[in-house]
Amino acid sequence: MRDDLDKDLLQMFEEKNLELPEEPFRAELRLRIEKARIGYDRVYWILTALALAACAAAANFVIGGVSLFLGELNRVLQNADKLLAAPIGFEFLAVPAGFVVVAAAALISLLFRRRVLSMFV
């Protein structure tokens, strides 16, 4: 291909106005799209602000719930400590039957956990 043809072609494109004439449909569509984007942006920022306000408002309830939960958990653990500290708690584990019951429960728990995990792997 000759270089002078490429130069002529480039010169023709540079001289031509490549902008398309404005059409009513395209201008109206562009305005509708811009309005929709502005609306979506406003809705996004409003929802973001509402979500942050909801998190701030719920923080007191969450903190209160966690405090209540930890208080109950502490009570349950204290009761478990008292049960294990009682002579009957140690006696249960000292008896061979009690040890067998605890070992069997641990073995069943281990096998069940392994079976459940193997279903997902």
pLDDT in tens, 50-94: 999 999 999 988 898 898 889 888 888 887 777 667 666 555 565
Spell out the domain ranges in the chain: 87-121
Element (H, E) at 23: none
CA dist 98 and 86 (Å) reads: 15
**Cα dihedral 95, 96, 101, 106 sign:** positive
Res 109 pLDDT > 70: yes
Percent of the chain, pLDDT > 90? 14
Tokens 């079976």 correspond to 115
- The answer, as to whether pTM is greater than 0.75, is no
